[in-house]
Amino acid sequence: VDLGTTSQHLDRARRRGPRDARLAPVTVPPARGPVCLHDGKARAELGAVDRPLVMAVGALERGRGYRTLLDAAREWRELDPQPLLVIAGEGRERALLQRRIFEEGLPVRLIGRRDDVAELLAAADVAVLPSRWEARALLAQEALRLGVPLVATAVGGVPELVGDAAELVPYGDAGALAGAVRGLLDDAERRMDLAAAGRVQAGTWPTEDETVAHVLSVYDELASLR
C-alpha cells in the first residue's frame, strides 16, 4: 500500500505502479493555548501598529517563492498606508533577500526563526504562501484555523487543502500575488468572509486521533493478509 497526503501524490504513485494507493492526509495540531487575533503587542513588536501586516513563514530557500514575494512587495510601496511584509524563517537565501530589501527600499522585514509563529500569524491582516510546491502546507493550515485570510499559490495539494477558503494565484506571478493581497487589504468584508470560510474548511480536516487511527487501520489490514 502506498499512502499519500494529497491526490497529486496518489496520481504520481499510481503512475509508478503500486496496485493500492490511498489518501492519508496528515493533520497539524492546532496551536496550544489561546491565540489573540490582531494582537496589538505583536503588531507593535513587528512595527505594524498603524499599517497593514502581511505575514509569510518558511525556510528562506529556492522554490519557496520569496523572490517573487519581494517583487510583489515592491508594488505595495505606493499604497497608503504602506503594508509591511514580515517573513519568519531562515535559510540560504537570506543574504540575497536582505540585500534586495535594502537596495530596493522594500517594506519587508526578515525576522528569522521564531517560536511564536502562531501568535505573529494571528496578528496579521493577510498571510501569504508563495511556494513553487506544497503538499499540506503548515502555514495554510495555521492561517485557516486562526481565521487569517490567505493568499497562496495554486500548486501541489494547496487547492485541495484550502478549497474556496483562500485566494489562489499562479506560482511566480508577482502581479497576481500583489493584486490578490492588495484586493484583500482594500476589502474588509472579503477578509471576514475568508476568515469564516477558513475556519469551516479547517473543520473538515482530520484530527490527530483520526489520522493515527487511519494509519493503524491500514497496518492492521496488511497484517491480516500475511
pLDDT tens for each residue of 53-68:
999 999 999 999 999 9
| Mean pLDDT rounded to a whole number for the chain | 87
CA neighbor of 134 nearest in space, from 40, 201, 56: 56
User: How far apart are alpha carbons 129 and 121 in whole angstroms?
Assistant: 12
Q: Which fold has domain 35-203?
A: Rossmann fold (3.40.50)
Interval 76-101: pLDDT, tens: 999 999 999 999 999 999 999 999 99
Mean pLDDT for 110-118 is 95
What confidence category does residue 21 fall into, taking pLDDT thresholds of 50, 70 and 90? low
Domain coordinates in residue numbering, the chain? 1-30, 35-203
Whether 139 contacts 129, CB under 8 Å: yes
Average pLDDT of the residues in 121-135: 96
Of 100-104, 180-184, 195-199, 218-222, the least confident: 218-222
Rg (CA), the chain: 19
Residue 40: pLDDT above 60?
A: yes
Select from 172, 152, 185, 186 the least CA-distant residue to 71: 172
What percent of the chain shows pLDDT beyond 70? 78
- Residue 33 is predicted with a pLDDT of 57
SS3 content of the chain, % helix, strand, coil (to 5): 45, 15, 40
Q: For residues 120 and 63, give the distance between their C-alpha atoms in angstroms, rounded to a whole number.
A: 23
Band the pLDDT of 110: cuts 50, 70, 90. Answer: very high
pLDDT grade for 156, boundaries at 50, 70 and 90 = very high
What are the cell numbers at 168? 489562489
Percent of the chain clearing pLDDT 90 (strictly above)? 71
Is the per-residue pLDDT at 145 higher than 70? yes
Q: What is the pLDDT of residue 223?
A: 73
Find out whether 35 and 146 touch, Cβ atoms under 8 Å: yes
Q: Please compute the mean of the pLDDT values over residues 44-60 and round it to a whole number.
A: 96
Distance CA 170, CA 168 (A): 7
Beta strand 150-153 with 126-129 is parallel
CB atoms within 10 A of CB 143: 31
Residue 117: φ, ψ to 5° = -60, -40
Tell me what pLDDT residue 97 has: 98
What local confidence, expressed as pLDDT, does residue 9 receive?
54
Instruction: In whole angstroms, give the CA distance from residue 73 to residue 175.
Output: 10
Residue 63 is predicted with a pLDDT of 95
